[in-house]
Amino acid sequence: MSIFENVNFDDHESVHSFADPQSGLKAIIAVHSTTLGPSAGGSRLWTYASSEQAMTDVLRLSRGMSYKNAMAGLKLGGGKAVIMRPEGDFDRTALFAAFGRAVEAVGGKYYTAEDVGVSPEDMRVVRAQTKYVAGLNEGASASGDPSPVTADGVFRCIKLAADKKLGTSLKGMRISVQGLGHVGYDLCRRLDEAGAQLIVADINTSLVEKAQSRFGAKTVTPDDIYAVEADIYAPCALGATLNPDTIEQLKVSIIAGAANNQLSTSQMGQSLQERGILYCPDYVVNGGGIINIAGEIEGNYNRDWVEGKLQGLEKTLSDILDLASKTGRSTDVIADEMAQKRIGRG
């Protein structure tokens, strides 16, 4: 299938594919928009069943980055990279070195950082090949792993939504969390400190056991997380988990989580609204990490600047929720319109 026929193609400015037989690299970098500045978004290392699946993922994710960066008030466009995980054993350093050369070849139109399956150590390897990388642990304006800042942003958004929809603090709130990775686990820590009762699921049982012993979290199987009775649901694993099948099972009032592209199709926002569930748009809620990375790209990383942008994120979500409650329109549509306006599309 040609990329132009892919339903997720959204007039992306450019899409680049790379292969390096020696290291096993097969990667796609998609630049969705550079209207606000060079595109930026993480790189994902994942097992894809086909290159079409990888293409669909990168097209959706890069568009999401344009919206996310615009809504976070950053001078960055949207881009993303996916690396198809090689089968069997592979030399990780060689793979990320080849990926670094790929990023360099895009010539500064795309800045990379960590996403699912990628660590600051991988980014250190990429840095040896290109300067268009952030999320580093070392260097003059290194910002490190963005995940704790993403978790901070998600936590603030959950607090805000609970206050607006339920009129309460998080103390005693039942919050279900799907995915206990870099973001999900740190989010649980913050929610636990705020007095919430956690119900968690992950395919990685050791993370589930850790959350159980550290936070007293109740645990359920990955399949059962949707049907859990709770006040708030925080999807922090992978995308497209809000679909007709799962939405039917949900027994929550609010959804706010870190995962990218949570809605399987654009109709899902409407379905959630019809069920009386307040959906906090993913690319607003999870903007903390890219804010942290943007500080590094600008070359003058500092916590005060990041704090200001995180407060801006809360204000943006607050505006969306207020407008949705005033107009009766769904939050995802309102957020999309705001983002499109900011990037000069629509």
Residue with smaller CB distance to ligand NAD, 236 or 274: 236
**Residue 193, SS3?**
helix
To ligand NAD, the closest distance from the beta carbon of 30 in angstroms equals 15
Nearer to ligand NAD, 85 or 329 (CB): 85
Cβ proximity to ligand NAD: between 22 and 204 the closer is 204
Three-state DSSP at 218 gives strand
Catalytic, out of 26, 68, 80, 159: 80
Question: Rounded to whole angstroms, how far apart are CA atoms 254 and 234?
Answer: 9
* Chain residues that interact with ligand NAD, rule: CB under 6 A: 115-117, 146-147, 150, 178-184, 201-204, 207, 222, 236-239, 258-260, 286, 289
Work out how close the CB of 292 gets to ligand NAD at its nearest, in angstroms, rounded to a whole number.
8
Note whether 227 and 249 are within 8 A (CB): yes
Distant-in-sequence contacts of 305-310, Cβ < 8 A, 24+ apart: 306/149, 309/72, 309/73, 309/74, 310/149, 310/152, 310/153, 310/156
74 and 36 Cβ atoms separated by less than 8 Å: yes
Q: How far apart are CA 13 and CA 216, in angstroms?
A: 47
**Angstrom distance (rounded) from CA 133 to CA 13:** 20
| Residues paired with 199 in a beta bridge | 176, 218
Judged by DSSP in three states, 146 sits in coil
C-beta of 100 vs 235, nearer to ligand NAD = 235
Shortest reach from residue 325's CB to ligand NAD, in Å: 26
Distance CA 275, CA 251 (A): 9
Residue 29's φ and ψ, nearest 5 degrees, are -115, 125
**Minimal CB distance residue for ligand NAD:** 181
CA dihedral 299, 287, 220, 207 (to 10 degrees): 0
CB of 2 to ligand NAD, least distance (A): 27
Alpha-carbon gap, residue 322 to 339, rounded angstroms:
16
Angle between helices 120-127 and 92-105 (to 10 degrees): 60
CB of 78 to ligand NAD, least distance (A): 13
Rounded least distance, CB 54 to ligand NAD, Å:
15
Task: Name which of 95 and 259 has its Cβ closer to ligand NAD.
Answer: 259
Indicate if 80 belongs to the active site.
yes
Q: Minimum distance from CB of 222 to ligand NAD (Å)? A: 4
Q: Is 12 or 182 the residue whose CB approaches ligand NAD more closely?
A: 182
Residue with smaller CB distance to ligand NAD, 202 or 231: 202
Say how many C-beta atoms besides its own lie within 10 A of residue 25's C-beta. Answer: 21
Which H helix or E strand runs over 27? strand 25-33
Active-site amino acid positions: 80
